[in-house]
A and B are shown apart, each in its own frame.
Chain A
């Protein structure tokens, strides 16, 4: 917080407002859920409901990301890594999107290479990254979404794949630029990649840092987002 009595530290203002917005959104989503439960069955899962739920999730994800970026900026993003079960982690991420996936008739699968695969990461931070990527994939996916995890040499790899049109080619070609810096032309996907890249980097082991990659194609033919954690 700014110590100068008259000075207005704009990023602090944004952070504290975002915090309130998040609380407000949480109440809104909850009230909406209760109201929805009282509707006659045929109105409960209409198209409009799907849009409302999807945009709620998107708004929430953006606010979490904004707060995260603010904290990264002021060096106050706490890192609390621990061992986590990948299957549990992925299922929890998919559960958060269950209504939207249902209303868009997208089938979402979790595939973990070996039973009981463990990863070492900050669950909250990685969770907010994965939630945003899933939200993005839902927008483009036609009917399938797949989240996979496997061990590749020194790294744990987490991939979110869809069967949509994939990332635009220029974005794939210049992906390192998106991760390195922000500019006005990158749009919200660019911001998401930047955030993901920063969170990946926070995970470090013996000099090796985490990173992200985007690609198109296998296994579902659409976009593929991969995060590598040492």
Chain B
């Protein structure tokens, strides 16, 4: 038996009898430091201030968060170390396992009722395993994938019992390091041996990422034959179908996942978005409503759910008028949004437009027009430009509210800033056939494309020249500006002449309106640090 006297325990269950009985078992095993709680929210709070070694967490806690949601938030918020033992206690394990997200699996499930011998056996084994895995887990905590790989290598040679576990950590590390060829070989090898659920999900995502959509789709379908109750496979399949332009079938796949596992905010949000694109407003309302409600107490809360719900409800009215009950639900959702995100000017503006769109259908055109005017006035003062999706949505709302000039101006900015992204250009083309707007970025995008090719071939001088020509045409385009800045820094090395440094800084300043939700934001920040020397 392991020594538990120095371990910090947390027991979470909504039944006080159960808590005291487990506490007694732990005391009997030598445990001295045992905290208890009855709600998942308390777990999060406690883990913020204390590092637990072993957490025994009930899955079904009545109202509030369930054990799986708590675990996801603990991991996402880095509130527990990888070295912490998390045991999910359930009345019936298979249900909880279906609902668990593959990337956030507990270390073990323990089915109620259990006796002291079972608890001790389980914990002994887990402590032994975590001790053996310690070098890997420490490297994970430090976010050093190269060290994870090295530790996996030596452990799987030392003790073959841990080889299957190591494969999984290796796969994660290879992905982090971007060593995708090796990752594909590893995952294919694992699947050739045994149908492991996690390997299906990982290989599917990898093939998708590499643009091999047909193979990704075939793989997910094959995985679903073996594991028809694995929501993550439906999620992956939906993403592939969407990338292939099959948004109706993508929605169906996601609906299958939701049916299996409805308590997943990000999945509900994704379904809402898809259903909205498919103009299936009823399903969109339902999904966004769920996402909004579940998000209230979660770190995965998102303003998009409030706006999405308002838009979906407005859409449900079709060409007819919006009934009072729906209008009041919209008012409530947007009111909550305004309260939660009061300091975000862009969101306030979008909230106002969403309200205006609904009021148009509630027979209040005057109020709608007033709100639309306010929104247009606010556009000029935004500190950050919208993300592409949001910008397109706002433009379409402006047009429906009769603000044609503001709409065109916004689409024009959209092309200037995001014109190198074909998906954005398709979105713009759906809203306008104005050649001046649509053709605005073409030449610059072509120069940029050639520049990227030169850069990849290490012809940095040619690349810079091309990027400069592109930037002269489209000075606000984020990709082009970042490419130019990067080329300048690359050529100049440590001692960039003042003149070029100035040019580099101007490039970056010109795109400082980029939203911090943009996937390139991290790269932008890195370039800024270099150019402005911090």
Please tell me which stretch of A39-47, A92-100, A151-159, A171-179 contacts chain B, meaning at least 4 of its Cβ atoms lie within 8 angstroms of it: A92-100
1/0 contact trace for A23-35 toward B, CB 8 Å?
1011101110110
| Contact residues in B for A221 (Cβ distance below 8 Å) | none
Docked-complex contact A92 and B118, CB < 8 angstroms: yes
Considering only residues 57-100 of chain B, those with a C-beta below 8 Å from chain A are 91-94, 97-98
Expressed in whole angstroms, the Cα–Cα distance for A60 and B118 within the complex equals: 15
Bound: A52/B454 CA distance, A: 79
A80 to B199, CA, bound (A): 12
B121 touches A95 (CB 8 A): yes
In Å, the complex CA distance between A26 and B115 comes to 11
* Contact assessment for B91 and A26 in the assembled complex, using a CB-CB cutoff below 8 Å: yes
A120 and B194 within 8 A (CB): yes
B92 touches which one: A22, A31, A75, A98 (CB < 8 A)?
A: A22
Q: Mark A198-229, 1 if CB is under 8 A from B, else 0.
A: 00000001000000000000000000000000
Q: Count residues of chain A with CB under 8 A from any CB of chain B.
A: 39
B229 / chain A contacts, CB cutoff of 8 Å = 76, 78-79
Specify which chain A residues have a CB less than 8 angstroms from the CB of B227 in the assembled complex: 78-80
| Tally of chain B residues near chain A (CB < 8 A) | 38
List chain B residues, Cβ under 8 A from A79: 226-227, 229
Q: Report the minimum CB–CB distance from B134 to chain A (whole Å).
A: 18
CB contacts under 8 Å to B, within A6-42, are: 19, 22-23, 25-27, 29-31, 33-34, 37
Please state if B194 and A26 are interface contacts (CB–CB under 8 Å). no
- Please report the C-alpha to C-alpha distance between residue A27 and residue B17 in the assembled complex, in whole angstroms: 9
Q: Does B122 contact A (CB under 8 A)?
A: yes
Q: How far is the CA of A95 from the CA of B125 in the complex (A)?
A: 13
A37 and B117 alpha carbons, distance in the complex (Å): 15
Contacts of B121 in A (CB 8 A): 91-92, 95
B50 nearest CB across to chain A (Å)? 27
Chain A interface: which of B158-166, B471-479, B485-493, B512-520?
A: B158-166
Query: Is B460 among interface residues, defined by CB-CB distance under 8 A?
Result: no
CA distance A83 to B20 in the complex (A): 34
Task: Please indicate the chain B residues that have their CB under 8 angstroms from the CB of A60 in the complex.
Answer: 113
Among B93, B113, B159, which residue has its beta carbon within 8 angstroms of that of A29? B113
CB-based contact A81/B161 at 8 Å: no
Task: Name the distance in Å between B200's Cβ and chain A's nearest Cβ.
Answer: 12
Complex Cα gap A37–B25 (Å):
11
Q: Is B18 interfacial (CB-CB < 8 Å)?
A: yes
Contacts of B20 in A (CB 8 A): 34
Q: Decide: B164 and A118 in contact? CB cutoff 8 A.
A: yes
Query: Given A67-B92, A78-B97, A95-B120, A37–B24 Cβ distance below 8 Å?
Result: yes
On whether the beta carbons of B112 and A88 are closer than 8 Å, the reply is no
Given contacts A30-B17, A34-B17, A98-B117, contact A83 B112 (CB under 8 A): no
Knowing that A78-B94, A81-B196 touch, tell me 4 more A-B residue pairs with CB under 8 angstroms: A75-B228, A95-B121, A98-B117, A124-B97
> Which residues does A use to contact B, with CB under 8 Å?
19, 22-23, 25-27, 29-31, 33-34, 37, 60, 64, 67, 71, 75-83, 85, 88, 91-92, 95-96, 98-99, 116, 118, 120, 124-125, 205
Which 4 pairs of residues, A with B, have the shortest CB-CB distance? A83-B164, A98-B117, A78-B229, A95-B117
Can you name 18 A-B pairs with beta carbons within 8 Å? A26-B112, A30-B17, A30-B112, A33-B113, A34-B17, A60-B113, A77-B94, A79-B226, A80-B197, A83-B165, A92-B118, A96-B118, A98-B117, A116-B160, A116-B161, A118-B160, A124-B94, A125-B94
